């Protein structure tokens, strides 16, 4: 049975840990509001970009752009894996990494482009130390997204990868985050059959005019679409990470409180047992000496 001193030390250690988890919980609660605000500010631009892409693909018959052509046969898939830079958020990082690993197994191999230190470390443990990688929180996110999109698109054009797939976390609710897999490149016209039928958000085809030409605008828009999709995934990963960390730190704080209560009861019982033992020893000694 642990001594009173051992139990007291364990309680002190748990209280120190509880202070840390409380502080991290408050930091996550403050940061998630900023991350959600940044995500909401970017959403109108993302919606407009997707709508314009629908309109353009519905307005053109064919476009000679690498992003709308099938990738090189036999080349591995290019996986843009987005994770957080830090842990202490439950299974947040491991879930998205396992989703990327499952995709790579189905594709028979993959080339990774990692955003986030946890994703970088996981890919290195897979035996791929040399790969394109960026930290999620270093510098401006739009610059990181632009660099990742440029590197992956260059490899796609050169035939080193057959497609570009984005694997990142999706924020469902504050209590739920789910890994999602999206194929970004190549973009197939069959994905926009509704636009080809003359409907783009409920507008007729002839209601939109593009200058200098739909083909020219589309060729300039496709790289921006890739960049901003990765950028949006980074913003959502930020918000999802802080939500997962908030839940994890709340659970850790509550569990620490329960352990402290249990150890306090055990310490009181141990102290009472020690006092009772001392009293019994005094009584037994007094009886042995014949003291009344």
Q: Domains of the chain by range and CATH?
A: 41-244 (3.40.1380.10)
Helices (H) and strands (E) in the chain, counts: 6, 7
Of 49, 32, 8, 20, the residue nearest 174 (C-alpha): 32
Residue 88's pLDDT is what?
A: 87
Structure tokens at 70: 């099938």
Residue 66's pLDDT is what?
A: 81
Residue 120's pLDDT is what?
A: 94
Rounded to 5, what percent of the chain is helix, strand, coil?
Answer: 65, 15, 20
Residue 276's pLDDT is what?
A: 87
Please work out, in degrees rounded to the nearest 5, the angle formed at the alpha carbon of residue 234 by the alpha carbons of 229 and 237.
125
- pTM exceeds cut of 0.85: no
Q: What is the pLDDT along the chain (292 residues), one digit of tens a residue?
A: 678 888 889 999 999 999 999 999 999 988 888 888 888 888 888 878 877 777 777 666 666 778 878 888 888 999 999 999 998 888 999 999 999 999 998 888 889 999 999 999 999 998 887 889 999 988 888 999 999 999 999 999 888 999 999 999 988 888 888 999 988 888 766 655 544 454 444 444 445 666 676 677 777 788 888 889 999 999 999 999 999 999 999 999 999 999 999 999 988 888 888 888 888 888 888 888 875 5
């Amino acid at each position: 049975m642990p001594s009173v001193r051992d139990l007291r030390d364990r309680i002190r250690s748990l209280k120190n840990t509880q202070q840390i988890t409380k502080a991290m919980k408050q930091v996550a609660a403050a940061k998630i509001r900023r991350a959600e605000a940044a995500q909401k500010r970017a959403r109108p631009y993302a919606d407009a970009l997707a709508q314009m892409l629908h309109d353009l693909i519905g307005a053109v018959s064919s476009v000679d752009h690498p992003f709308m052509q099938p990738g090189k046969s036999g080349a591995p898939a290019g996986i843009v894996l987005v994770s957080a830079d830090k842990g202490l958020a439950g299974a947040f990082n491991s879930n998205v990494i396992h989703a990327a690993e499952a995709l790579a197994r189905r594709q028979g191999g993959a080339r990774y482009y990692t955003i986030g230190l946890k994703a970088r470390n996981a890919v290195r443990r897979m035996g791929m130390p040399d790969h394109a990688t960026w930290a999620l929180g270093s510098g401006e996110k739009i610059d990181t997204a632009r660099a990742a999109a440029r590197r992956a698109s260059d490899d796609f054009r050169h035939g080193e990868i057959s497609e570009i797939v984005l694997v990142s976390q999706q924020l469902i609710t504050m209590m739920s985050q789910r890994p999602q897999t999206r194929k970004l490149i190549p973009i197939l016209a069959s994905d926009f059959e509704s636009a080809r039928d003359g409907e783009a958000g409920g507008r007729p085809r002839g209601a939109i005019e593009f200058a200098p030409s739909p083909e020219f605008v589309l060729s300039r828009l496709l790289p921006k679409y890739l960049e901003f999709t990765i950028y949006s995934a980074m913003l959502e990963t930020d918000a999802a990470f802080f939500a997962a960390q908030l839940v994890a730190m709340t659970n850790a704080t509550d569990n620490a409180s329960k352990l402290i209560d249990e150890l306090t009861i055990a310490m009181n019982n141990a102290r009472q047992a020690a006092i009772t033992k001392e009293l019994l020893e005094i009584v037994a000694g007094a009886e042995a000496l014949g003291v009344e």
